[in-house]
Structures are given as structure tokens and as C-alpha cells.
Amino acid sequence: MVTVYDVPAAGLTLKLSQELKKDKNIVAPPWAAFVKTGSHKTRRPEQENWWQIRAASILRRIYIDGPVGVERLRTFYGGRKNRGMKPERFQKAGGKILRNILQQLEGSGYVKVKKGSGRIVSPKGQKFLDSLALKVSKGG
């Protein structure tokens, strides 16, 4: 059986973002067109469907690393901040985007809360991800 671990991350994330675009619960809020994803970024995302791509990436990350919370995701999506003449430093990503996406994934039933630990993939989410991994492995 093919799982998320067996397929390339880029192919799975692309296919997953296309499927999440069809879900009515995973929608970018109006303010998402104007925000950066973290203080380490200089510009906002340029892709039109960046919200669904980030949601797909988060869902895959929860599948692989779960249970995870917002703080671990902030660390994963963080990066180096250019501070001019001073040395660069690591900055965490913003938390509001991650929280909203996690809440939307919960509303769709792909993720559930594990008390005291963070969020894990629900059985519905695991079935969804594994079926998409099978499609990606077959080249479809």
C-alpha cells in the first residue's frame, strides 16, 4: 500500500492543494491577500492559491510529524531574517495563518485535536491522503 512517505512531497502537495481547492471549508480570508507569512519575509506570497498550498503542506506535515501544534509549525515554516548589516537570525513564521488553516482542516474533518499534545490526522484525513498518494505514485 502506498502512503505519504512513499511519494515525493512536491507532487503530493500540488495534488493535495488542487483537491483542497474544491473543499468549501478551506478558503482564504479576505485579509490573506495583504499579509506576509512571517516577519522573516519581505513580501507577501505571489501565487493566487497559496492558502491551499500551505494547507496541503500543513496537512502533510501533521501526517508525518503529528501530533503537532502551532508552535512547532511556526518553527518549521520560519526562516532567516535579513537584518541589514547585522548577522541574519532565525525568525518563526506567523501564527495566525497556521491557526486559521488548522481550524479549517478541523472543520473539514481531516484533522482532530489530541488533548494535551496538538493535532493529529483523523481517519478521514489519513484515508484522503493515502488515496492521493496512490494517485501521485501512479502518475495521475
- Residue 108 has, within 13 A of its CA and on its CB side, a CA count of 25
pLDDT score, position 140: 63
C-alpha grid cell, residue 97:
495563518
pLDDT score, position 68: 93
Residue 47 banded pLDDT, cuts 50, 70, 90? confident
Q: State the chain's maximal CA–CA distance in angstroms.
A: 52
* Residue range 25-34, pLDDT digits in tens: 999 999 988 9
pLDDT surpasses 70 at 70: yes
* Distance separating alpha carbons of residues 100 and 90, to the nearest angstrom: 23
C-alpha grid cell, residue 69:
501544534
Q: Identify the CA nearest to 125 among candidates 107, 140, 138, 98.
A: 107
C-alpha grid cell, residue 58:
500543513
What CATH number does residue 116 fall under?
A: 1.10.10.10
Q: Which domain holds residue 21?
A: 4-137
Q: 13: burial class by Cβ within 10 Å (0-12, 13-18, 19+)?
A: buried
Mean pLDDT on 118-137: 92
> 35: which DSSP letter?
-
pLDDT surpasses 90 at 52: yes
* Residue range 82-119, pLDDT digits in tens: 999 999 999 999 999 999 999 999 999 999 999 888 99
**Number of domains within the chain:** 1
> What is the pTM for the complete model shown?
0.90
